[in-house]
Amino acid sequence: MKIGLLGGTFDPIHLGHLRAAESAREALALDRVAFVPAGAPPHRDTPVSSPLDRFAMVCLATAGHPCFLAWDTEVRRPGPSYTVDTVAALRAEHPEDAFVMIVGSDTWPEMATWRDPERLFRLCAVAVVDRPGEDPRPPLAEGRAVTRVSGPGLPISASAVRERVRRGESVRYLVPDAVSEYIAKRGLYA
């Protein structure tokens, strides 16, 4: 199988994440797209909601798509969530599958600062999905296998969703209904 890996804090997962995954699935002929919430992201502030809440929201958001999966690989692992470690572990668990790391055009420039980026590029292909407001052309990949994915993007950010919840405003049509209900039920971001 050819599996796309979309990682992130997903604090919360929103329709922009889902649209990017669908664009990558179609453009790259992926059999599945696995959403992998970071347990402890090393390049960002500590997420507002717990790893289990973020994983639950990913499960709810992906449940209606037959090709989307929620994987708790990083949530279960202690310590920082380094992508290269995750991909190495997934390749060991699924040696028959091919993996494609899906990143947004906003994340692509940061990849050079990730742990062992050269090894990551040896472990999997990388696809860069255009994000509204970002340069649609990934920088030169220095001989690395990088595919650009275009498609309709949604200008939504998790921080804007959290801020709307904090102000008591609706997040309808920004996150899946089940995620909105989960946020309200758990009192997240209020």
- What tens digit of pLDDT does each residue of 25-42 get? 999 999 999 999 999 998
How far out from the chain centre does Cα 4 lie? 10
Residue 29: count other Cβ atoms within 10 Å of its Cβ: 7
Q: Which residues pair with 68 in a beta bridge?
A: 33
pLDDT in tens, 45-80: 899 999 999 999 999 999 999 999 999 999 999 999
pLDDT of residue 109: 85
CATH number, domain at 52?
3.40.50.620
In the chain, the number of structural domains is 1
Q: State the residue range of the domain holding 140.
A: 2-186
Sheet holding 2-8, edge to edge: 68-70, 32-37, 2-8, 98-104, 125-129, 146-149
| Average pLDDT of every residue of the chain | 93
Where is pLDDT greater, at 153 or 10? 10
* pLDDT, tens digit (0-9, with 9 covering 90-100), for 143-175: 666 899 988 889 999 999 999 999 999 999 999
